[in-house]
Structure 1
Amino acid sequence: MPHKLLLVDDEPFNLELMSELLQDAGYETQLAENGETAWDILQRDGEQFSTILLDKMMPGMSGFDVLKKIKAEPRLEFLPVIMQTAMGAASSVQEGLAAGAFYYLTKPFSRDMLLAIVGAAVGHWDRYAHFRELANLHVDALRHLQTARFRCRTHREAQAITALLAKTSRQPERVATGLFELLVNAIEHGNLGISYEEKSQLIAAGTWEKELENRLQAPEYSDRQVALEFDHQGHQLQFTIEDMGDGFDWAYYQNAEPASLMTCHGRGILIARKLSFDSLRYEGKGNRVIAVVNQT
């Protein structure tokens, strides 16, 4: 089945244009011309959607008001929301990201930018839905796991480890979303030495998957693994992830202005910190990160 998107904008022309572009790309869309209508739809059918494109400035219930309602509703809080705004000010972007927006699109935006960001959001939702399904399996014994060590090289291995360890938490899909992002960062940007700029260029050229596979098979990277240690102490779950790369300027990515994080990738740290973990701490040169979940 195609992914279903909810488009919310008080300008009918904008709605029709976005709907046409997204339907041509294979998405199913539903339209709402104001915040009140959008919230009614979400309350009734929110689980049907994979992503929301939400205009920030609307009369009555604004897009920001709708975003806050979504993030306060447990059924919907992980639904990716792409905010649209004509205001590119850092303070406006900061407000939306702090409230849980997945991304900001500044009008006017291109077709390619729209499709790239929607694709990233839908991919994020697919991973969340997959981990949610796995978490429903009855593996109660994992709630009693105290310590464990794992090693992985590939996305597939990282996904398997994530699905397993997420079941140690009372909110497995919450933990899974951030843990997988951190493991992917460790594999791609740590062990394989792919910079955020290189990944942008490879995605744009359509050669990202091929380059990832080539590096995994290259002799200089073949012995590199990501180590993950799990520790359950009292009411806390601690995940320590360490790669074999050269590290990075982790302070920049934790503290940078939100406007500088506006790419369709490179948001793993932001997602992990905002949505998944109660604390996130990088150490040393940046190839070691400690993520903590409170179980109280």
Structure 2
Amino acid sequence: MPKPLLIVAREQNAPDSLTGALGIGDYQLTREADPEQAWRSITAADADFAAVIIDLTLPDTGGLALLRRIKHLPRLAELPVIMQMPPVDSQELASLLRAGLKTGAYFFISSPCEPSTVLETLNAAMEDAQVKHALARRQRESGGYMRLLREASFVVRTLDEAEQLASFVALAAPQPERALLGLTELLINSIEHGNLGISYEEKRMLKEVDRWRDEVDRRAALPENLDKRVRVRLHRDSNRLLIRVSDDGPGFDWRHYLDFDPRRAFDPNGRGIAMARLASFDGLEYEGDGRVAIATILETGPAGAHAHGQ
């Protein structure tokens, strides 16, 4: 059965490349040019959209306002939202990306865009929503006991272990769904780039041919990598949660990745650290050569505000 998909964009900003790509996939399209009408469609009693694509150039910052309304309504918080970025200069693009991230968007496409990129981004957004749904269920089942955790240490080696640990540790944060993105990025970066030496360019090419995970698993099984680990230490004090992630790699020049580089804005990789810093944590810093990352989540700061009713 086709998945219902809502596109919110001015007619001239919903190019054939976008609708054509979605026509290739298994989607039933609804298009709205007015954010208010789009909101009524999304919140209708019988609405069951699988995802929403929002044009960031809607008048009067209507795209960001619609995104904010979606993310602030609990029953829609896990709805996959993809922001369509306009063809602007690099400085404005970086500003729009930051604004989208701070409002709750994690997935972006350019305008115009390749059909394959649209479908890949949609699939990634819907997979992410499934992970967050499972995380919310685990949070309810845990009864909030992970918030009582004060000290803990963990060691992981593989992608599967990293993803499972990220979901577990996220439950200790005031807003687990926000922490999950950043924790996953830090752990996976430590494995793939730190311990296994996969470069930015190698990952980009592997992602394009859907071979990235196979290559990570292959390298992890090599004799020279069997003893390499990623270590995670969690510490909570009166007003913050500190998460320290370290690996056995040679380190990297982390300064190039803390903020968005517009040249990498729509690459399949290279944005994770910047996204984690802006969207998941109240602070993110690296020690020395980059083998140690320290993330800070404040109990009453932006990353913890929702849990405290702010």
TM-score (norm 1): 0.86
Whole-angstrom CA distance in 1 between matches of 2:96 and 2:13: 24
Partner of 1:42: 42
- Identity rate of aligned residues, in percent? 34
Cα gap change, 1:83/1:210 in structure 2, threshold over 3 Å: closer, same or farther?
A: same
Q: CA deviation at 1:234?
A: 0.9
Give 1:156-195 correspondences, 5 Å limit: 156-195=160-199
Cα gap change, 1:223/1:43 in structure 2, threshold over 3 Å: closer, same or farther?
A: same
8 A contact 1:273–1:280 mirrored in 2 = yes
Cα gap change, 1:61/1:139 in structure 2, threshold over 3 Å: closer, same or farther?
A: closer
Partner of 1:107: 111
Q: Residue type matched to 1:96 in 2? A: L
Q: CA deviation at 1:286?
A: 1.0
Q: CA deviation at 1:57?
A: 2.7
Q: How many residues align?
A: 296
8 A contact 1:103–1:262 mirrored in 2 = no
Give 1:1-296 correspondences, 5 Å limit: 4-11=4-11, 14=14, 18-44=18-44, 48-59=48-59, 62-73=62-73, 76=76, 79-99=79-99, 100=101, 101-296=105-300
Per-residue CA distance 1:121-165 (angstroms, 9 max, x = gap): 333333322322222212543322211110001122122222322
* Matched position secondary structure for 2:258: helix
8 A contact 2:70–2:77 mirrored in 1 = yes
8 A contact 1:80–1:102 mirrored in 2 = no
Cα gap change, 1:140/1:54 in structure 2, threshold over 3 Å: closer, same or farther?
A: closer
Whole-angstrom CA distance in 2 between matches of 1:176 and 1:47: 27
* Matched position secondary structure for 1:255: coil
Q: Residue type matched to 1:57 in 2? A: T
Per-residue CA distance 1:244-289 (angstroms, 9 max, x = gap): 1122221111134344333122322123112211111111111211
**Mean CA deviation greater in 51-60 or 205-214:** 51-60
| Moved beyond 6 Å, runs of 4+ | none
RMSD after superposition: 2.8
Q: CA deviation at 1:292?
A: 1.0
**Mean CA deviation greater in 91-100 or 209-218:** 91-100
Whole-angstrom CA distance in 1 between matches of 2:33 and 2:213: 38
Q: Residue type matched to 2:172 in 1? A: T
Gaps of 5+ in 2: 301-310
Cα gap change, 1:76/1:212 in structure 2, threshold over 3 Å: closer, same or farther?
A: same
8 A contact 1:135–1:173 mirrored in 2 = no
8 A contact 2:17–2:115 mirrored in 1 = no
